[in-house]
Amino acid sequence: MLYQPIDNELFVENRKRFAGQLQPNSIAVLNSNDIMPTSADGILPFVQHTDLFYLSGIDQEESTLVICPDAREEKHREILFLRETSEQIALWEGRKYSQQEATSVSGIRTVYWNHEFERVFKSLVLQSESIYLNTNEHLRADTRVQTRDGRFIEWCRQSYPLHRYRRLAPIMHRLRAVKSAPEVDLLQKACGITEKAFYRLLGFIRPGVWEFEIAAEIFHEFLTRRSRGPAFQTIVASGENACALHYVNNDRQCRDGELVLIDFGAEYAHYNADVTRTLPVNGRFTERQKQVYNAVLTVQKAAIEMLRPGNCMDDYNREVGRIMQAELIALGLLDADEVKKQSPQQPLYKKYFPHGTSHYLGLDVHDYGDLQRQFEPGMVLTCEPGIYIRDEALGVRIENDILITADDPVDLTAGIPRQVEQIEALMHQQPPGA
């Protein structure tokens, strides 16, 4: 793995909290992600299932975690099943975990090879009344492709039809929404790598540079700092492209006098940063660009102050919308009289700010979390208001990653400049030796 070893106490504590959520006499099973094919003999790079990683730290395909807190034998209360390695596998694919290495990474003492799974699982499931199985219950999930978990559900129900089946996902949504101190440290590491990439861009962006060249600079900085790469597909959107929220073609040349919106973030040990900055291609904002940019910044600063315990997503978004509405009126984009007559269900500000203000952040970029749950200390959310004016080919978004605490919000991306004056000064700063 590119990332530095993680103290396995993180995974030990995660499993303790998870086991405490299970009904008595239960068994829970979590599977790794599949390796996905392309065409011919091609495959996509393996990415571990974040639930399995959260509970074990295991970063390898064909892995299964079984948790059975009431198992009669103590050694079977936590079990890892792994792909057995061999000299042939090592020759063609490289090293895989030994059983001892898997124990060191996870803190799980009992590790079996996959061919032993059915025998061991049968002995445990017959002691159990309930079986917890995992499915992807994220609101944005695309579930068209059957997963390893999906295949296991079919096999398990066919093999043990009279057991009581329970959903594992709600437990993971509760637990993963609140980050522990070690998790915050890993998120801060991802944000720090992202900050380094941003500073690399300040001396690189200029009229004539291509969007994909900017993306390449970001990728280079990520890899040199032990990130596997971007946490999500990097958006580099210049000119009118910034008004397409999920633009990822990155194939346009940046022109003098335009803004370029860059939505990017490093992944580190599966934890993700998610940052957006909007920069003037020539290093100087025009007056209109500055007006729109500062309006977004005003909204963002106010929104960050609302990321506090006890608030909730609905109230938060409603108040952010009210502040954005005032800024859009001041910019001449909305008419105050028309706003007074608007439908509360279809506020006019949505024409220029069509997306939500925040999402949970963690092992997944759009991480687990109940949108009706009140904010709590330990939650990490993005804060990303934007204004998109298609008629002016002008789009501005500013996004920071915020840790909710018992006191003031903590900005994990505070080191990435966002003030107009800071950005202009840094973009015109002479590099060393110039």
Annotated catalytic sites, by residue?
Answer: 41, 246, 263, 274, 355, 359, 366, 384, 388, 397, 399
Tell me the residue length of the chain: 434
DSSP string across 28-64: EEEEPPPPPB-STT-BPPP---HHHHHHH----SS-E
How far apart CA 347 and CA 319 sit, in angstroms, is 12
Spatial distance between the Cα atoms of 262 and 264, rounded to a whole number of angstroms: 6
| Cβ-based neighbours of 169, under 8 Å, separated by 6 or more | 134, 135, 136, 137
DSSP output for 167-232: ESHHHHHHHHTS--HHHHHHHHHHHHHHHHHHHHHHTT--TT-BHHHHHHHHHHHHHHTT--EESS
Under 8 Å CB-to-CB from 45, ≥6 apart: which residues?
none
Residue type present at position 222: F
CA–CA distance from 28 to each of 15, 70, 165 (Å)? 11, 11, 10
Q: 3-state DSSP: the chain helix, strand, coil percent, rounded to 5?
A: 40, 20, 45
Residue type, 408: D
Q: Cβ contacts of residue 43 below 8 Å, gap of 6+?
A: 35, 36, 37
Distance CA 44, CA 228 (A): 14
Q: Is 26 helix (H, G, I), strand (E, B) or coil?
A: strand
Strand positions, DSSP E, 73-163: 78-82, 110-113, 130-133
